[in-house]
Amino acid sequence: MLAETLRWPGEHQRVLLEATLRHLELSLAALSVAVVVALPLGIALTRAPGAAGFVTGIANVLRTIPSLALLVLMLPLLGTGYLPAMVALTVYGVPAILLNTYAGVRSVDADIVDAARGQGLSDRQIIRRIEIPLALPVMFAGIRTAAVQIVAAATLAAFVGGGGLGELITAGMGTLDFPELLVGALAVAALAAATELLFAGLERGIAGRRRAS
Partner 1 sequence: MSWTFENYDRLLAALGEHIVMVASALALSLAIALPLGIWSARRPRIYAATITLTGILYTVPALALFALLIPVMGLGTGPAVVALVLYSLLILVRNVAAGLRAVPPEVIDAADGMGFAPARRLLRVELPLAMPVIVAGIRIALVMQISVATVAAYISAGGLGDIIFQGITQDFNEKIIAGAVLTSLLAVVADETLRLLERRLRPPAGLTDAG
Partner 2 sequence: MIRLEGVTKRYPGVSRPAVDHLDLDIPEGTICVLIGPSGCGKTTSMRMVNRLIEPTAGRILVAGEDVSGTDPVRLRRTIGYVIQQVGLFPHMSVAENVATVPALLGWPKPRIAARVEEMLTLVGLEPREFLRRFPGELSGGQRQRVGVARALAADPPVMLMDEPFGAVDPIVRERLQSEFLAILRRLRKTIILVTHDIDEAIRMGDRLALMKDGLLMQYDTPDRILATPRDAFVAEFLGIDRGLKRLALVTAGEAAGPSPAPAGSPRIASVTTLRDALSILLTEGADAAAVVDADGASLGSLTLGAIRHRLAARADQSGAG
Q: With beta carbons less than 8 A apart as the criterion, state whether 191 and 23 touch.
A: yes
> 76-80 long-range contacts, Cβ below 8 Å, gap at least 24?
80/160, 80/161, 80/162
Binding of residue 182 to partner 1 (CB under 8 A) = yes
- Please tell me the distance from the alpha carbon of residue 129 to that of residue 110, in angstroms, as a whole number: 15
**Between residues 58 and 207, which has the closer beta carbon with respect to partner 2?**
207
Binding of residue 188 to partner 1 (CB under 8 A) = yes
Q: Who's near 135: CB < 8 A, 6+ residues apart?
A: 101, 104, 105, 107, 108
Q: How many residues can be counted in the chain?
A: 213
- 67 contact, one of partner 1, partner 2, none, CB 5-8 Å limit per kind: partner 1
- 120 contact, one of partner 2, partner 1, none, CB 5-8 Å limit per kind: partner 2
Q: Segment near partner 1 (CB under 8 A), from 28-36, 48-56, 67-75, 101-109?
A: 67-75
- 134 contact, one of partner 2, partner 1, none, CB 5-8 Å limit per kind: partner 2
**Between residues 20 and 125, which has the closer beta carbon with respect to partner 2?**
125
Element (H or E) spanning 126, and its range?
none
**Binding footprint of partner 1, residue count (CB under 8 A):** 37
Under rule CB under 8 A, which residues in 76-135 are in contact with partner 2?
Answer: 109, 111-122, 125, 129-130, 133-134
- Closest alpha carbon to 39 in 92, 95, 108: 95
Under rule CB under 8 A, which residues in 91-110 are in contact with partner 1?
Answer: none
Can you state the angle between helices 132-153 and 82-106, rounded to 10 degrees? 150
- Closest alpha carbon to 87 in 101, 71, 98: 71
Give contact residues for partner 1 (rule: CB under 8 A). 1, 60-61, 64-70, 72-73, 75-76, 148, 151-153, 155-156, 158-159, 166, 169, 172-173, 178, 181-182, 184-186, 188-189, 192-193, 196
